[in-house]
Copies of this chain bind each other. A is one copy, B any other.
Amino acid sequence: MADQLLNERDIEFLLYEFLDTEQLLQRPRYREHSREIFDATLKTARTIADKYFANHNAKGDANEPSFDGETVHLIEETKQAWDAFAEAGFLAAHYDFNEGGLQLPEIILRASLATVSAANVASAGYPFLTLGAANLIHSFADEKLKAQFLPPMMDGRYAGTMALTEPDQGSSLADIRTSAEAAADGSYRIFGQKMFISGGDQSLTDNIAHMVLAKIKGAPPGVKGISLFLVPKFLLDENGEPDKRNDVKLAGLLHKMGYRNTTSTVLNFGEDRGAVGYLVGEPHKGLAYMFQMMNEARIGVGVGAAVLGYQGYNYSLQYARERPQGRLPSNRDPQSKQLPIIRHADVRRMLLMQKSYVEGGLALCFYASSLFEDQRTAETEEQRRNATALLNLLTPIVKSWPSKYCLKANELAIQVLGGAGYIREFPLEQLYRDNRLNPIHEGTEAIHGLDLLGRKVPADNMAGYGLLQCEMRNTLMQAKDIEALAPLAAALEDALEKLDVVTRSLFGQMQQDIDRGLANATLYLDVFGRVVVAWIWLRQALAAEGALSASVSMEEGNFYRGKVQAARFYIEWELPEIEAQVALLTSGNMLPFEMDESWF
């Protein structure tokens, strides 16, 4: 692994210069906090990431979990990592003081988790899933379930999972078949099979709380009949301690390309007499509840993708600085000293492209995280409502853009190393294999394209879309006044208009024929993502130019100039690719849709 996890200076920039995280301290929830506490939290996360997660990232990949028919075996470092994470309080950090938490803001937790993911995304899977499951219980379960399951999930005795997918349905939740029958004691009996359940079994915790989507017998068809159940691995005895095995069986482990140290499982519920499950919240509202978890998880996927890209960037940058090879074309003297490969134009292109993807991706995720915070703790109701509208709009992009482009960053990092990038003796090929999951889980690109164009943009009379336009125009106004940024602002303004034209054109097409109108939604997602990330980069450049206008050290100056150059690169090299895409979309080019199946 690269010597550093992410880039401390960049995290600081994103939190305190690109975003204004310090202003959170003025909000009532954070009055007892300080910048020092935030920074100490980040430092703790970095220490744990370094010591307990980075140490077995490669080992966990080479020695993936195994199942002997009884027990799942993980390399022992996984348990040490889990314990260290729990002991540092990160499983409870975002809850209020009076709930036993540290009352930390979302963005500080998110930045902390980012560092842990950067160290070892697979071992980070267990605590991350547990955080999500606990949040669901916290938000929707009754007091009894909360009392039974939340405390041990907050201190690391229990873990949690998210059990949605079934063998016959992945993307189409309407068609899940897992069923629930009411039992006399008010609990339910769950029957069905779930697949691709991450962390579905392990040897880390005393119990696992599976958050299972199932349909109560007689429920309405489709997504309106889905309920959410907590199905524990072990049933609790009268003292609330794990006792007998519930009727949940591990049918087997799946063997992934990457993310290997996170178990991926097939679980059978109710093979014998029915798995005992407890209804969470009201019947038939399971999907809405699950979406809370999914939306958080989707930001998590974006961050995961960004940090895997970031680690590849770090490593390939370090390699390019150190590896001598070849000379400039102008130098024809084979006896002259070879240059470090960072001096070659194409290596620089690959590094700058990676920088624009990974720092752009992480900035996008952190921005989303700030919206997540604002929707809960911003001062006015309007601010909170606006944050929700913006976050809902941006979630498909926050999930999909880093998953696509930070994966591409990993490909570029491999390419910088050449043959060394292709062998397991170097860390890059694992990063790529790990990252390849991100465009798939928590909704494929296609799903998010449909969500963006079909739901999120039109939602509430385009409220979120309108807000985003305002935010962007606000940035444009500021950037236009700065000489170095004015051309970038002009390019983004032009792109913004194109996005508007294409959006309205697609709405027209959707009104005529919804299937055709949505046929190119993935392309629209890509256009939208590029425009948003161009804006994120312009905002970073604005912060950097602001800092450069004062007197800064040479090192600081270099950092800020790198930000400005990456913003220029993104806007001059990447953003213009939307033109061809916009032309296809507005002309209603339906070639793929019109490809007859028999022609393949």
Q: Tell me, yes or no, whether A478 is within 8 Å of chain B by CB.
A: no
A256 with B424: CB separation less than 8 A: yes
CA distance A171 to B326 in the complex (A): 7
* Among A21-29, A86-94, A432-440, A534-542, the stretch in contact with B: A432-440
Copies of this chain in the oligomer = 2
Which chain B residue shows the least CB distance to A224?
A: B334
Known contacts: A349-B522, A521-B346. The answer to whether A422 contacts B437 by CB under 8 A is: yes
Q: What B residues does A248 contact at CB under 8 A?
A: none
Closest-CB distance, A490 to chain B (whole angstroms): 15
Whether A329 contacts B171 in the complex (CB less than 8 A), given A415-B444, A561-B599, comes out as no
Q: Which of B355, B411, B522 contacts A600 (CB 8 A)?
A: B355
- Stretch in A107-115, A203-211, A302-310, A566-574 touching the partner: A566-574
Beyond A254-B425, A561-B596, A569-B591, is A515–B419 a contact (Cβ under 8 Å)?
A: no
CA distance A595 to B349 in the complex (A): 9
A3 at the interface (CB under 8 A from B): no
Asked whether A222 is an interface residue with its Cβ less than 8 Å from the other chain, the reply is yes
Given known pairs A169-B325, A565-B595, A579-B579, the reply for A345 and B437 (CB within 8 Å) is no
Q: Is A454 part of the contact surface with B, judged by Cβ < 8 Å? A: yes
Q: Does A33 contact B (CB under 8 A)?
A: no
User: Are the CB atoms of A565 and B418 closer together than 8 Å?
Assistant: no
Let me know if B349 and A592 touch, CB within 8 A.
yes
Which of chain B's residues have a CB closer than 8 A to the CB of A411?
A: 436
Please state if A345 and B565 are interface contacts (CB–CB under 8 Å).
no
Quick one: CB contact mask for A133-155 with B, threshold 8 Å, 1 for yes?
00000000000000000000000
A221 touching B515 in the complex, CB below 8 Å, given contacts A415-B444, A425-B255: no
Instruction: Give the contact stretch, choosing among A238-246, A365-373, A445-453, A460-468.
Output: A445-453
Contact B599 A572 (CB under 8 A): no
In the complex, A212 has a CB within 8 A of chain B: no
Since A321-B597, A343-B597, A346-B445 are in contact, a sample of 6 more A-B pairs with Cβ atoms closer than 8 Å, ordered by chain A residue number, is A329-B514, A329-B518, A345-B518, A346-B522, A414-B436, A418-B440
